[in-house]
Amino acid sequence: MSAFWIATIGTSAIAFILKYSGHSLPQRLLEHPRIQRINALIPIALLSALVAVQSFTEKGKLVIDHRLAGVAVAVLALFLKAPFPVVVLSAALTSAAIYNWF
């Protein structure tokens, strides 16, 4: 068995144990205000990290290209309180236009 499969099976087991232990916690622990605040912020942090990694890196190296323009337009659209479909479409169109022009 290769190291890849050992890592895959080990990671799967850890994920299962974490999910199972999360369901086994008493309700009073999950209703604590601090836990509620932390749980509200975790998806925001993970999505921000995903956007940063996917927008500014390629093969482990920092890259500034058409994706930066798309993210900038999306941030501007969010700042102007545009609906979500408008944010996504404007970012995609901007990124695609710059990619095709340059």
Domain boundaries, given as residue ranges, for the chain: 64-102
pTM above 0.75, yes or no: no
Residue 22 clears pLDDT 90, i.e. is over it: no
C-alpha 46/C-alpha 2 separation (Å) is 30
C-alpha 24/C-alpha 16 separation (Å) is 12
For 68, the 3-state DSSP assignment is: helix
Percent of the chain with pLDDT over 90: 77
- Mind listing the pLDDT tens digit for each residue in 25-70? 888 888 899 999 998 999 999 999 999 999 999 988 999 999 999 9
